[in-house]
Amino acid sequence: MNTVNSSFEPFSDASADPPVRGFLGHPQGPVQNGLVLTHGAGGNCRGSLLVALAQAFVAVGFAVLRCDLPFRQDRPYGPPRPGNAARDREGLRNAVKALQKLGARRIFLAGQSYGGRQATMLCADAPELAAGLLPLSYPLHPPGKSDQLRTQHLPRLTTPALFVQGTRDPFGSIQEMEAALRLIPAKTSLLTIEGVGHDLGFKGNKRLEELPTTIGQHFQSFFGGSQREDDHRPFE
CA dihedral 121, 8, 232, 138 (to 10 degrees): -30
Give yes or no for a contact between 10 and 26, defined as CB atoms under 8 angstroms apart.
Answer: no
In this prediction, residue 3 carries a pLDDT of 45
Burial status of residue 96 (CB atoms within 10 A of its CB: 0-12, 13-18, 19 or more): buried
Considering the domain boundaries, does residue 218 fall inside one? yes
Number of domains in the chain: 1
- Could you list the residue range(s) of the whole structural domain that residue 118 is in? 30-72+84-141+150-198+208-223
Give yes or no for a contact between 106 and 227, defined as CB atoms under 8 angstroms apart.
Answer: yes
Q: In what order do the strands lie in the sheet with 161-166?
A: 8-13, 20-25, 62-68, 33-38, 106-112, 132-136, 161-166, 188-193
Considering the domain boundaries, does residue 6 fall inside one? no
For 56-89, how does the pLDDT look when each residue is reduced to its tens digit (9 = 90+)? Answer: 999 999 999 999 999 999 999 999 998 999 999 9
Considering the domain boundaries, does residue 48 fall inside one? yes
Question: 10-residue block means of pLDDT along the chain (236 residues)?
Answer: 64 96 92 96 97 95 97 96 95 97 95 98 98 98 97 98 98 98 98 97 90 97 65 64
Residue 90: which of 20, 163, 10, 160 has the closest Cα?
20
Question: How many other C-beta atoms can be found within 10 angstroms of the C-beta atom of residue 54?
Answer: 25
Residue 215: which of 60, 105, 67 has the closest Cα?
60
Considering the domain boundaries, does residue 15 fall inside one? no
Considering the domain boundaries, does residue 17 fall inside one? no
Contacts of 103 (CB under 8 A, 6+ apart): 30, 31
What CATH number should be reported for the domain holding residue 219?
Answer: 3.40.50.1820
Question: How many other C-beta atoms can be found within 10 angstroms of the C-beta atom of residue 52?
Answer: 18
Give yes or no for a contact between 123 and 217, defined as CB atoms under 8 angstroms apart.
Answer: no
Considering the domain boundaries, does residue 181 fall inside one? yes
Considering the domain boundaries, does residue 35 fall inside one? yes
In this prediction, residue 232 carries a pLDDT of 56
Say which DSSP state 223 is in. S
**pTM (2 decimals)?**
0.94
Considering the domain boundaries, does residue 10 fall inside one? no
